[in-house]
Structure 1
Amino acid sequence: MKAFLFDLNGTMIDDMDYHNRAWHSILTEDLGKKISMEDTKLQMYGKNSELLERVFGKGHFSDEQMDELSKEKERRYQLAFRPHLKLIAGLDTFLQTAEQHGIKMAIGSAAIPFNIDFILDNLNIRHYFPVTVSADDVTYSKPDPETFVKAAELSGVKPGDCIVFEDNPKGVEAALKAGMKAIVITTMHEERDFEGLPNILKFIEDYNDPYLQQLFS
Structure 2
Amino acid sequence: MQPNFSMNFSPQALIFDLNGTMIDDMHFHAKAWYQILNDDLNAALTWDEVKVQMYGKNGEVLDRIFGKGRFSEAEVLELSVEKERRYQKEYFPHLKLLPGLADFLDNARQAGIKMAIGSAAIPFNIDFVLDNLNIRPYFQAIVSADDVTDSKPDPETFLKAAELLGLAPSACVVFEDAPKGVEAAQNAGMACVVLTTAHEKEDFGKYTNILRFVKDYTDSFLQEILPVRV
Q: By the TM > 0.5 criterion, same fold?
A: yes
Q: Once the 2 structures are TM-superposed, how far is the Cα of residue 195 of structure 1 from its aligned partner?
A: 1.1
What is the aligned partner in structure 1 of residue 225 from structure 2? 215
Between the two proteins, the alignment pairs up a number of residues equal to 217
Decide which moves more: 31-40 or 78-87. 31-40
Aligned letter for 1:120? L
Residue 33, structure 1, aligned to residue 33, structure 2? no
| Match runs of 1:1-217 below 5 Å | 1-217=11-227
Q: How far does residue 213 in structure 1 lie from its aligned partner after superposition? A: 1.2
CA RMSD after TM alignment: 0.5
Q: Which runs of 5+ in 2 are unaligned?
A: 1-10
Aligned residue number for residue 5 of structure 2: none
**For each residue in 1:19-63, what CA deviation from the matched residue of structure 2 results, as whole angstroms up to 9, or x when unmatched?**
000000000000011101111111121100000000000011011
Relative to the length of structure 2, the TM-score reads: 0.94
The percent identity for this pair of structures is 62
CA distance in structure 1 between the aligned counterparts of 2:138 and 2:63, rounded to whole angstroms: 34
Offset at 1:95?
0.1
1:130 shift after superposition: 2.1
Structure 1 segments, 4+ long, off by >4 Å, are: none
Per-residue CA distance 1:173-212 (angstroms, 9 max, x = gap): 0000000000000000000111100100000000000111
Secondary structure in structure 2 of the residue aligned to 1:17: helix
Separation in structure 1 between the aligned mates of residue 41 and residue 161 of structure 2, nearest angstrom: 35
Letter in 2 for 1:41: K
Amino acid at match of 2:50: T
Code of the residue aligned with 1:190 in structure 2: it is E
Where in structure 1 are there 5+ consecutive unaligned residues?
none
Give 3-state SS (helix, strand or coil) of 1:216's partner: coil
